[in-house]
Structure formats: structure tokens, C-alpha cells
Amino acid sequence: MRSYGGGIYGIDAHYESEGMAAIYLLVSEGRAAIIETAHNTSLPHLLSALKALGVKRENIDYICVTHVHLDHAGGAGSYMREFPQAKLVVHPRGARHMVSPAKLVEGVKAVYGEAETERIYGEIIPVAEERVIAPEDGRELKFGKMTLVCYDAPGHAKHHMIFFEKSTRSLFAGDAFGISYRWMEGADGRWAFPTASPVQFDPAAMIATTEKIVALAPEQIFITHFGELTNVRKNAALLTEGVKKYVEITEAAAGDKAKIKAGLAELYRETAEKEGTTLPAATVEESLRVDLELNAQGLSCWYSNSRKK
């Protein structure tokens, strides 16, 4: 567990390995909210953090997921069962998938395969509909002296929300402000790249969401993959340029996944070198192996869908 100050704590979900997915715990006057749930096996790590901080389980008011992709929401049912007084906060477009997750799980199996989905996520437990909050854009959730403002944030997915905590000016972005693993340290701090995983990537919407985030003027942004970004404007520019390059790569490849993947690998190597990351190029590519595959799939899907319109 890491303390970021102001009652904000980051917990490593141990999603496949360390430093891949974070859960955030916000504590104010003994009340608390959880942002992201990763997968079922992340729950013991969250419970250990609560015990260390002396936060009572019955004082968890909200469990928020930025979107219903299972590396963010796969553990929601287990968490809700553990904290029976809490409300689950999820985008209106994603709420039904938390209540009846069968279709969501089938979609994940289509990407990962049945065996891998079962290995990573196990059983996806439904959440009772009466315990779900599907907030409109701008709705405020209060606990202790903290206030979380919920905002619609499409681009990565149509069912994506971000959460802005007013007292600390902290924004919890899920996948709406890219991916930045701990090794992605450059001469000017951490750098991020856009995530375009299947199947709802929308480049124009992602750029608009990036602009929305900058307009909120957060002092720090917490991303699920992984941790805190403080160089907000620098990364906003990098992400916007990255989305545009994704489109260029995909259109030049005419949607061919293998060609997109090769183009992305080159882009990531070039960005790492430009930003001053000291890892060898081959290590950068291997470290981003899963992201390369998912982003290539997502961009190929976007290309196909955009040609149907």
C-alpha cells in the first residue's frame, strides 16, 4: 500500500504481476470509498490495507468502477458481498452488465479465450440492482469531507467514467488518461500512451475526454495502470498526439492487425527513446507485449466498424 497524502491510498491488485493494476482507497473522517476492484483475488490486498489503516468494513460507502472491463470491475461482485452496506457506482451504460454479467463475460472470452478468462477472473458475481448507482454526468458523491464528482468519459469505452475528488483536486481516470507503468520514467517524469483495447475505442471521443480532464485542472491524476501522474499537461499532449498516430498507423495498415501491431511497437520504442527511458528497445517491446496485442485488436476493430458507418 502506498499513501499519496490527503487520505488517498494506492493498493497493488497483483493483477498477473505487481505494478499492473491499482485499486484506490479514499478515506475521510473514518468513511471511505474504493475506486476500481480489479479481479476477485485482489480483495485480500484491499482488506489488508483497511486493517492497516483501521478503516471499518461497515464504513465503506461507495465502490466505484471506472468502466466494466474486467481488469477494473471483475472483482466488483466479491467486493459488494464483502461490504454489504456499500453502493456500487458504475456508468449508466455499464450498470446492466454488473447486474447480469453473462454477456460481459462472453465478450471477454472472445478476446482472451475461455480458459484464460477463467484463470484470471474466476466467477464474475452479479450485483443486486438495488445496490447500484448509475450516476448522471456531474453527480456528486459525498463521504466524510470528500466529494467525488462523476463524469462521463468516453473514448476508451462508451461505459467509461472518471471521478474527480474536489478537496484534493485528484482525478481517478481509469483508462481515460492512458497507461503508464512504473518503468516508464523519462527525463520529464512519467509518460503515458493511449489504450485502445477492444471493442469501443473512439479516437475523437478520447481526445475530447483528454481535453475535459485538462479543463478540470487536477493536481494529480491516478490511473489504473499504474499509479500517479503529476505532469498532466505534458501527458495530455502526448496522449492526444498518440491517438492521432494510432489512427495514422491503423489507416496505413488498412486495419490489418499484424501491421498495426508492428506500427505500434515502433511508436512505443520511439516514444520511450524520446522521453529518455533507459530500458533497451527490446525490453520496452516485451514489457508492453500484452498492450501491443490488445491495442492492435482494438484498433483493427475500430477500423472495421468505422468503415461500416
Using one digit for the tens of pLDDT, what is the confidence trace for 252-286? 999 999 999 999 999 999 999 999 998 888 889 89
Helix runs in the chain, H state only: 43-53, 70-73, 76-82, 95-99, 102-112, 114-121, 203-215, 232-252, 257-275, 281-287, 289-308
Average pLDDT, the chain: 96
Q: For residue 66, what are the domain limits? A: 2-232
R_g of the chain, CA atoms, integer Å: 18
At 164 the pLDDT is 99
pLDDT exceeds 70 at position 162: yes
Phi first, then psi: give them for residue 21, nearest 5 degrees: -145, 140
What grid cell was written down for 205? 471521443
Domain co-membership, 22 together with 39: yes
Domain co-membership, 135 together with 164: yes
Domain boundary among 232, 258, 289: 232
Nearest of 82, 62, 87, 224 to residue 147 by alpha carbon: 62
Domain boundary among 232, 257, 292: 232
Instruction: Give dist(CA 270, CA 61) in Å, integer.
Output: 44
> How many domains in the chain?
2
Domain co-membership, 163 together with 265: no
Domain co-membership, 141 together with 36: yes
Dihedral of the alpha carbons of 4, 268, 234, 255, in degrees to the nearest 10 = -110
At 278 the pLDDT is 84
3-state secondary structure of 33: strand
Query: Which residues have a Cβ under 8 Å from the Cβ of 111 and sit 6 or more positions away?
Result: 198, 294, 297
